[in-house]
Amino acid sequence: MNALKTLVVLTLVAASFSGCTSTRICNSDGGIEIMVDEKGKTDIRIDDVCFRDWLAVEDIATPRRNSGGILTSTVSIRNTLTDKNDYYRMDKFKVQYKATWFDANGMDVTPDLSLWMPIDMGGGDSVQIKLAAPTKRATRFVLRIKHVR
């Protein structure tokens, strides 16, 4: 009988540790990285398993040059969490985004100008992030989006 009790206790302990691992992943500093060049070639990387379930990239407008020669684009994102009754998930959260612009040689044209901008997102909310390059030399951008704790 002692062996059965020991097995039950070990199973409960192992289950509690697996829950902690999941929580640690959800609270990581990861997020989404969206790379877009002026021809519209896009690469999206998500390096946080839970963030993948929280946020969807709905649309990325093909970058265009405005009348002043500045590259512009819009990225639409949506909070996919809508179930307020799920104890382990939240339907409202904050994210930050930052755009970094590069020239044709891959050099950052805004090394000191990129700032993290906050967004509050309620359950099911969609947000359009409007981007404009700081200089005519920009040919592509990387948009980083991360969860704010």
Position of tokens 């999941």? 22
Domain chopping of the chain, boundaries: 30-148
Specify the pLDDT at position 20. 35
Helix (H) or strand (E) holding 52: helix 49-54
Distance (Å, whole) CA 85 – CA 66? 45
Burial of 89 per CB tally in 10 Å (0-12, 13-18, 19+): middle
pLDDT in tens, the chain (149 residues): 555 444 333 444 343 333 333 333 455 567 888 899 888 888 888 887 767 778 889 999 999 999 999 999 999 999 887 765 554 555 677 889 999 999 999 999 977 777 899 998 888 889 999 999 999 999 999 999 988 87
Q: What is the pLDDT of residue 144?
A: 92
Q: How far apart are CA 111 and CA 56, in angstroms?
A: 28
pLDDT of residue 40: 84
Confidence (pTM):
0.73
Cβ–Cβ < 8 Å for 74, 132 = no
CB 44 within 8 A of CB 33: yes
Name which of 64, 71, 58 is nearest 128 in CA terms: 58
Q: For the domain 30-148, what is the CATH code?
A: 2.60.40.3230
In the DSSP assignment, the letter for residue 108 is B
Write down the pLDDT at residue 21.
35
